[in-house]
Amino acid sequence: MNALAATFEADTSRDFLGLPLYDERRPKLKLRPARALHHFRELLKDKENTEEVFRIFESLPWKDLRKAGERFLTSEKGMDLRVREPFLPAILDDHAALRRMPEGSLAHAYCDFMEGEGLTAQGLVDEFDRFAADKPNYNDQFKWYMNRMRDVHDMLHVLTGYGRDSLGEACVLAFTYSQQPSPAHLFIGYMAGLNIRKQVESSAPVLRAIREAQGLGKACPRIAELAITDLLPMQLEDVRRKLNITPAMHYRAAHAVWGSMGVNPYDLLGSKAA
């Protein structure tokens, strides 16, 4: 176990001691496409409104999420990871520790990305907590698995090279679908792509970029189930090779087309779209 993981290991066995694997009181979510479409339209008005994203995921749940979570939680790898990395945001937001890792590492690339975008891992947790404030708290082991899938989101941007522009976010969601197959990932990704094409008529390969991202996610091991603290000290390009993440050529091509037109890719789902 590396030093960074060890820093956050204390008392984790007590945290999980006595907790059920899955709280049977958790509601069984149903597919509600019309509701998802409503929340997507609201998201177009403000693409930073994360609450609408959470509501879309409620409306289009991953059918086999419980099965996938229980399989990982009961595996030797899953049990080890809960001890090593009990709460990813605490690890990912300790930039002082991450900056002590080698230049060119995933840790440095992650810090550069988060600091450049003005983001923190805890910030996404806070957004979710506000959304879930009036909902029941299910204190089971499954909660850790759910949180972990949420907490690797910004890491996916760094690993794939997709930015936080509208197409970049759509591509990250398509990538994530192949890792965590909730219909919401594809719904938001492709609906965003169609909206981008509507806003800017061009030869930019928008939908091809999203399909490419879906393929990249399929070729990559499920990142939420990997030891992030093992990956952080590694050189970024070595991590990408290890995870079979190849360059996103259609995404880059789309940016090149928009650049030649003087179009800002960060303004494609902004107030103009609303």
How many CB atoms neighbour CB 225 within 10 A? 18
Task: Indicate the burial class of 267 (C-beta count within 10 angstroms; 0-12, 13-18, 19 or more).
Answer: middle
Q: What is the DSSP letter of 205?
A: -
CA distance 210 to 78: 30
- Quick check: helix, strand or coil at residue 269? coil
Position 2 pLDDT exceeds 60:
no
pTM for this one?
0.89
Confidence of residue 6 (pLDDT cuts 50, 70, 90): very low
How many CB atoms neighbour CB 247 within 10 A? 12
At 251, the amino acid letter reads Y
| Average model confidence (pLDDT) across the chain | 91
pLDDT at 17 (0 to 100): 56
Q: Which long-range contacts (CB under 8 A, 24 or more apart) does 235-241 make?
A: 235/102, 235/104, 235/105, 235/106, 236/104, 236/105, 236/106, 236/108, 236/109, 236/158, 237/104, 239/106, 239/159, 240/159
pLDDT in tens, 19-68: 899 999 999 989 999 999 999 999 988 877 888 999 999 999 999 999 99
CA nearest to 152, candidates 249, 70, 217, 242: 217
- Quick check: helix, strand or coil at residue 235? strand
Position 265 pLDDT exceeds 50:
yes
Position 210 pLDDT exceeds 80:
yes
Q: What number is the average pLDDT over the span 104-111?
A: 98
pLDDT at 23 (0 to 100): 95
Copy the structure tokens of residue 192: 């965003």
Copy the structure tokens of residue 215: 């393929």
Q: Per residue in 48-62, is it b (16+ CB within 10 Å) or e — as a string? A: eebbbbbbbbbbbbb
Confidence of residue 15 (pLDDT cuts 50, 70, 90): low
CA distance 14 to 10: 9
Confidence of residue 16 (pLDDT cuts 50, 70, 90): low
Q: Which long-range contacts (CB under 8 A, 24 or more apart) does 242-246 make?
A: 243/159, 244/219, 244/220, 245/159, 245/160, 245/216, 245/219, 245/220, 246/216, 246/219
Q: What is the DSSP letter of 267?
A: G
CA distance 151 to 208: 27
Tell me the HSE value of 22 on the side-chain side, using a 13 A CA sphere.
16
CA distance 213 to 141: 30
Tokens 């049990």 locate to 79
